[in-house]
Amino acid sequence: MLLLILMLFAALATASLSGCGTAGNRTVFVPEASPMRIGPKARFKVWIRTQGSTDWELSSNEVAIPEGWYIVPPSYVRE
């Protein structure tokens, strides 16, 4: 009986520990708090300005963004 209780306790302890530390960091997007840096292998659709235009146009394809580049909110950039 004692062996059964110890095995049950070990199983419960193992099950509860398996969720800790394996999920990694949780990131929350805060638009105006501070700049962020691009991680590895990032690909996005980007907004571009065509030459001579003041309008922004969304790219039709995804673009590879180099690791280490910064993402900043619009308030950081002068138009």
- Which pLDDT does position 62 carry in this prediction? 93
Inside any domain, residue 7: no
Residue 28 lies in a domain: no
Specify whether the backbone of 31 is left (phi greater than 0), alpha (psi in -120 to 50) or beta. Answer: alpha
pLDDT value for 54: 82
Residue 9: inside a domain: no
- Domain assignment present for residue 65? The answer is yes
Range of the domain at 45: 33-79
Tell me the C-alpha to C-alpha distance, in Å, between residue 46 and each of 23, 36, 59, 63, 65.
29, 16, 6, 7, 10
Q: Residue 68: its pLDDT value, please?
A: 93
54 found inside a domain: yes
Q: What does the pLDDT read at residue 75?
A: 79
44 found inside a domain: yes
**For 16, what's the count of Cα atoms within 13 Å in the CB-facing half-sphere?**
6
Q: What is the mean pLDDT of each run of 10 residues along the chain (79 residues)?
A: 66 60 61 81 88 86 92 77
Asked whether residue 61 is domain-assigned, the answer is yes
Give the count of domains, the chain. Answer: 1
Structural domain contains residue 20? no
pTM (2 d.p.): 0.49
Q: What is the distance between the alpha carbons of residues 57 and 45, in angstroms, rounded to a whole number?
A: 10
Contacts of 25 (CB under 8 A, 6+ apart): none
pLDDT score for 7: 65
Residue 42: what pLDDT?
Answer: 92
